[in-house]
Chain A
């Protein structure tokens, strides 16, 4: 790998409450190239969300080194992060387009251009025509699409997604997977995608990172050598099964 976009070295994170200290990340080392889509899998509580929070600059880490960006692709921690969570977390009192514009407002981006971009993104995630609806008028999948558009509005270089499709039904989830690949290919962003779906991880990822609990570190990190652009037929590719088995094994199943 030439110049990594994200470089983590022996990253450690300890949560401190009054009585106890809890080591949520023990020793995480990994490198992510620019434009890669890395899927993060691991048992519940192994520190996946914590890792995303450290990358987002929300939690200071207690040891090791976190470097994001390189000379070719500089990274501005103030405005180069887009986040998507399991819940869409749209503001109920704002119309869809106004929700998408939230990060642009926070960053003080020019309103007219931001609005145009919001319309473009809503179209890209298949929500054109719904700009002026309120969130409650949208289905769960549509709300999550709006949340993805919101994460892209300020054109961040790094997108952190924490089980973004975890609350969706299986069919919608498959659709969203295909759309995410499409969005990723169009936007060429670096994406970190946390999921509990092993098939999903192999299907989406250029790489998969498998985390192990206590000590919380990477159990494995490998490239998914399947061709892009991917369609659902890739799941019958012989290597697909090999990758999923590899992950299941790492997770002790």
Chain B
């Protein structure tokens, strides 16, 4: 086990790798991304004005933004609730998914027995599990965390599992010819080698995480942006609904951004799985 600190330090020594190349082209990329988004908002805004759609069908971005001022909409509570569900379920899925994949690579029989079952379970539409979870656990933040977790778990597990298997046999031979331990193979070769795959699974899971939390809230809840959308729908408060949608998206973007940042820190450019 004495190698573990070393393996960790090995990653921190990379921490500059991603930032070294914050060059002109990176800034240009950021500029383009910003412009495209502003362009989209402008397109929406102009479109609403030109076509003269009524606000209850589609409000302008400004009208949507203004709903933030309505105090009894309790925006912060709902945003916070959904964010907790998204981040909570997601982080749990990353931890458990990676842990499972690691165990699978250590115990081949576990892999042999459990993997086919997991592949089948993965076929269950996770969204359809949500009503059951609510029956079992009652509705609430924790239940929605479980729903989010269930959705995010599989892509992370399966990607990590694939990454752990993706080791050059000759490289293993090289380590074995020096009588390297299994732990050394894991800490120095398998895990860092699987990191790009872990991140690619994590990126897929970000989208699912937001969907999971919202579905949970749609089915039964008393707070959160999903619940809020249902309530405002009944009142035909389309501007508030759109604002809620924007905030849900914001949560997803924050999550995705955090994952990209971590990837930049931990994965050398060339090894990233795009």
Task: Tell which of B188-196, B197-205, B250-258 binds the partner.
Answer: B188-196
Q: Is the CB of B178 within 8 A of A93?
A: no
Residues of B within 8 Å of A134, CB to CB, are 17, 268-270
Q: Is the CB of B192 within 8 A of A91?
A: yes
- The answer for the CA separation of A92 and B268 in the assembled complex, in Å, is 7
Q: Is the CB of B177 within 8 A of A58?
A: yes
Q: How many A-B residue pairs have CB under 8 A?
A: 68
Q: Is the CB of A106 within 8 A of B180?
A: yes
| Most central of B6, B171, B192 by chain A CB within 10 Å | B171
B176 within 8 A of A: yes
What's the minimum C-beta distance from B6 to chain A, rounded to whole angstroms? 7
A154 within 8 A of B: yes
Q: Is the CB of B177 within 8 A of A85?
A: no
- Contact A89 to B10, CB < 8 A, known contacts A105-B188, A106-B180, A134-B270: no
Q: Is the CB of A79 within 8 A of B178?
A: yes
- The answer for the CA separation of A231 and B179 in the assembled complex, in Å, is 37
Residues of B within 8 Å of A136, CB to CB, are 268-270
Number of B positions contacting A (CB below 8 A): 28
Q: Is the CB of A93 within 8 A of B268?
A: yes
What's the minimum C-beta distance from B166 to chain A, rounded to whole angstroms? 12
The residue that B173 contacts in the complex, of A58, A91, A102, with Cβ under 8 A, is A58
B118 within 8 A of A: no
A57 within 8 A of B: yes
Q: Is the CB of B178 within 8 A of A154?
A: yes
A94 within 8 A of B: yes
Q: Is the CB of A91 within 8 A of B189?
A: yes
- The answer for the CA separation of A135 and B193 in the assembled complex, in Å, is 14
- The answer for the CA separation of A199 and B3 in the assembled complex, in Å, is 45
A-B contact pairs, 8 of them (CB 8 A): A81-B177, A91-B188, A105-B3, A105-B188, A106-B178, A134-B17, A134-B268, A136-B268
